[in-house]
Amino acid sequence: MIISPKVFFDDCYGRYAIAAVNVFTMEQVHGLFSAAQLANAPFMVQLTPVARNYAHARMLSAMIDAAAKIYPKVVYAVHLDHGNEEHALDAINSKEYQSVMIDASHDDFETNVARTKKVVDEAHAKNIVVEAELGVLSGVEDDISIDEEHSCYTKPSEVANFVGATDCDSLAVAVGTSHGAYKFSGGQGLQFHILEEIQNRLEGFPIVLHGGSAVNVEEIERINNAGGNLTEGAAGVSPEEIVKSIKYGVCKINIATDTRLLWTRTHREFFKNSPELFDPILPGREYIKEYEKFMLQKFDLLGATGKA
């Protein structure tokens, strides 16, 4: 069943979080929907412009529609991740999405507000919800000063104005995470004091955490033991941080990197152990199975198991 994220967020606020998982391939769609059905967990399946450009936007939507038929008990929403106006309008007009993100977070405050508001008007006219972003999510490096470091974070003093001026439905914030496998290069972790201040000023409004992958050390070791060469220092958000963030109003946790690492690990190990094989179906099956296992654990961690 397709549900608006609004319904998800009303139910989960402060209690559990919705996994918003980026998909790029058929195997990932199978693994995600299969796990959600087994766990009876609500979820969001999200597509980035890169994913749409790789598989084709219509291909991804068709795969998701098919998966909903194959796994008929799933409760989900389709979300455009990191879109600009053009992507958002295409998604809104396609009728294939319940939710879009307009990412104008690299612009100044006024421009971000104006660009976001335009998309909100188009989306709301069609009952589609909008995620906006305030603050710049980026790899924070050791050698930059505290002031510069803090300038990347969402400013709590701006969030209420931003939400009021744009009428967005959820807000992605920069509170220490970054995209990819090398988060927390300064070892600083999630900035809960900033998250708390944001929550205090937003009173029950859903917060989105980008860069939510765990980047499990064991996975990195296995990849490297099977011929990979990922640099040491790869690190993600700890399970404790994820659980704690939910109490601060984080309703949607974005996950992409973990599923890429899982792809790399299962395929590298498969071909290392079976160098004579060359059939995509065999490692593909293995990946779907491992993906499903990974998502079952994730739904549990987020407290979403049984909530569909």
The binding site for dihydroxyacetone phosphate consists of 180, 211-213, 254-257
**Does position 257 bind ligand 13P by CB under 6 A?**
yes
**Does position 179 bind ligand G3H by CB under 6 A?**
yes
* Catalytic pick among 81, 90, 143, 300: 81
CA 210 to chain centre: 6
Query: By C-beta, is 171 or 308 nearer to ligand G3H?
Result: 171
Query: By C-beta, is 216 or 254 nearer to ligand 13P?
Result: 254
The DSSP code for 170 is E
Binding residue (CB under 6 A) for ligand 13P from 199, 213, 264, 305: 213
**Does position 212 bind ligand 13P by CB under 6 A?**
yes
Stretch that binds ligand G3H, among 31-39, 46-54, 122-130, 267-275 (CB under 6 A): 46-54
- Number of other CB atoms surrounding residue 31 within 10 Å: 25
CA 170 to chain centre: 13
Q: Which does 100 bind (CB under 5 to 8 A by kind): ligand 13P, Na ion, Zn ion, none?
A: none
Closest of 272, 302, 305 to residue 286, by C-alpha? 272
Binding residue (CB under 5 A) for Na ion from 18, 101, 195, 302: 101
Residue 108 identity (one-letter amino acid): D
**Does position 305 bind ligand 13P by CB under 6 A?**
no
**Does position 250 bind Na ion by CB under 5 A?**
no
How far is residue 305's CA from residue 96's CA, in Å, rounded to a whole number? Answer: 26
Binding residue (CB under 6 A) for ligand G3H from 32, 37, 81, 208: 81
Q: What angle do CA 20, 95, 92 make, to 5 degrees?
A: 75
**Does position 59 bind ligand G3H by CB under 6 A?**
no
CA 88 to chain centre: 17
Closest of 158, 260, 237, 172 to residue 201, by C-alpha? 158
| Cβ contact 14:303 at 8 Å | no
Strand residues in 49-161 grouped as ranges (E): 76-83, 99-102, 129-134
Residue 81 is among the residues annotated as catalytic for this protein: yes
Positions that interact with Na ion (CB under 5 A): 81, 101
Q: State the catalytic residues.
A: 81
Positions that interact with ligand G3H (CB under 6 A): 22, 48, 50-51, 81-82, 179, 256
